[in-house]
Amino acid sequence: MDKIISLCKRRGFVFPSSEIYGGIGGFWDFGPLGSLMKNNIKREWIKRFVQEREDVVLIESSIIMSPKVWEASGHLKRFTDPLVECKRCHSRFRADHLREGKLIGQGKAKEKNQCPVCGNKEWTKERMFNTMFKTFVGPVEDESHIAYLRPETAQGMFVNFRNVLETSRKRLPFGIAQIGKCFRNEITFGDYIFRSREFEIAEIEYFVKPNEDERMFDYWVREWKKFLIYLGLKEENLKEVEIAKEEMAHYSKRTVDIYYRFPFGWDEIAGVANRTDYDLKRHSQFSKRDLRYFEEKEKKKYFPYVIEPTLGIERLFLALLCEAYEEVKGGRTKTTQAKKEVEILLRLNKRISPIKVAVLPLVKNKREIVQKARKVFDLLRSHFVCQYDEKDSIGRRYRREDEIGTPFCLTIDFESLKQNDLTVRDRDTMKQERVKIDELVNYLTKKLED
């Protein structure tokens, strides 16, 4: 894990937020490569679940919503964690984490119920702490102006259920999808970007007939796993975890989490919940609007059930990096010079790689080669995210690109000047193929869609 964190920092995937001020716990920034990679994940998700499906539409609802939404959804009352405070050093932790021994090994915590900061074992009484971030809308800071940063995007879909139904003319079953920032004021955060206080979720609220919920639940678990595998996670590194009744969210009839085998252990990256008709019913009740669905065939009104597949973008981002990370001892080229080195190879899915194509003139002191390479770069960059690099030996440049998962390196050499072609090096096979420059855009387009 430390190696991945170090790579992410060194190559510009992830930085601690506000780092020059010592950081701010639970917040992260995405650098030049990380932000591109995150966008790629989101784009693939939207392509697969919105563009390629007729039964799912996208929305984007606001992060700050009416506080009544959270009253109706039950979050105001129940979106809480048990909090205790160390009687000696006043550090605060989640009581359940202490009880379950989750903090053992951190700092001074050698056993259950021991404070990781000072080692003390005496704690204040548990109190429930609401983990929604609170703010005030308008210039008055009083009870009546409190609002919350959303802890999930789901409520945006529920309160827009009627709006979407009326404008999109969808019939059951259909889904409303959204990707967006969510905020949870976690008492304990950590494992790098895995558990942070600001994060992005991709979720679908999929509305079905009440008696079809169980079948559709299973369907979405399969679809969700297929997507994770499609993006590059190995099936053997995924497992389904059935959540026990007492541990499920208050709205759920059944929850299955999808766990990934991280270097720090199995943990959740996605999940599917059967939210039943809980949310639509509650919003009907609290808003006095009829949010039932009218079934034309049977001429009756009812509350649809909701299956909710959900996915943490940063968690998937991290899982994809862990899965793709490889160290090649002795170097990939096995030259004498490389023998002592360890080379990093990031076998990211081509769709996810932040840089698709690197354009490399073989040498930088030959004007015609550099000029030709620049021309190729200009030709390609309206089609793909490209990088031009002429610094250092060609071997070092290959290694730099391998390290960030660039699928194709193009080398312009002396031959290129005569033949108007170049070599395309494949990241994974290291095979080199000569391709005519005139055919390059088509060639790469096809390869990248493979």
- Say how far apart CA 136 and CA 151 lie, in whole Å: 16
Query: Which is closer to a second copy, CB of 99 or CB of 254?
Result: 99
Q: Supply the minimum distance, in Å, between the C-beta of residue 45 and a second copy.
A: 12
Exposure string for 311-328, b = 16+ CB within 10 A, e = fewer? bbbbbbbbbbbbbbbeeb
SS3 category, 244: coil
- Closest to a second copy by CB, 245 vs 391, is 391
Strands 293-295, 300-302: pairing is: antiparallel
Min dist CB 244 to a second copy, Å, is 26
Question: Which burial class, exposed, middle or buried, applies to 394 when counting CB atoms under 10 A from its CB (0-12, 13-18, 19+)?
Answer: middle
Q: Is 370 helix (H, G, I), strand (E, B) or coil?
A: helix
Whichever of 2 and 21 has its CB closer to a second copy, that residue is 21
- By beta-carbon proximity to a second copy, the closer residue of 158 and 220 is 158
Least CB distance from residue 43 to a second copy, whole Å?
8
In this complex, which beta carbon is closest to a second copy, that of residue 102 or of residue 253? 102
CB of 292 to a second copy, least distance (A): 13
Phi and psi at residue 344, in whole multiples of 5°? -95, 135
Q: What's the token pair of residue 437?
A: 């420059």
**Is the Cβ of residue 135 or residue 419 nearer to a second copy in the bound state?**
135
Closest approach of a second copy to the CB of residue 381, in Å? 5
Q: How far is the CB of 369 from a second copy (least distance, A)?
A: 18
Amino acid 408 reads F
User: H or E segment at 319?
Assistant: helix 313-324
Residues in contact with 105: Cβ distance below 8 Å, sequence separation at least 6, in sequence order: none
Rounded to the nearest whole angstrom, what is the least distance from the CB of residue 373 to a second copy in the complex?
Answer: 13
Complex with a second copy: residue 63 or 241, whichever CB lies closer: 63
Q: Residue 164 to residues 159, 167, 247, 445: CA-CA distances in angstroms?
A: 10, 5, 32, 35
Tell me which residue of 64, 62, 63, 66 sits closest to 144, measured CA to CA: 66
Kindly tell me which of 24 and 430 has the beta carbon lying closer to a second copy.
Answer: 24
Interaxial angle between packed helices 313-324 and 32-46, expressed in degrees from 0 to 180 and rounded to the nearest 10: 110
DSSP 8-state symbol, 125: P
Q: State the pairing for strand pair 421-426/432-436.
A: antiparallel
In 87-211, which ranges are E strands? 92-94, 127-130, 134-136, 146-148, 174-183, 198-208
Give residues with Cβ within 8 angstroms of 162, minimum separation 6.
289, 291
Report whether 174 contacts 304 (CB < 8 A).
no
Q: Nearest approach, Cβ of 437 to a second copy (angstroms)?
A: 19
Q: Which amino acid is at 259?
A: Y
Smallest separation (angstroms) from a second copy to the CB of 301 = 17
Task: Compare residues 254 and 447 and give the one whose CB is closer to a second copy.
Answer: 447
Residue closer to a second copy (CB basis): 404 or 422: 404
Least CB distance from residue 295 to a second copy, whole Å?
Answer: 18
- Could you tell me the smallest distance in angstroms from the CB atom of residue 433 to a second copy? 24
Task: Indicate the burial class of 433 (C-beta count within 10 angstroms; 0-12, 13-18, 19 or more).
Answer: middle
Nearer to a second copy, 21 or 334 (CB): 21
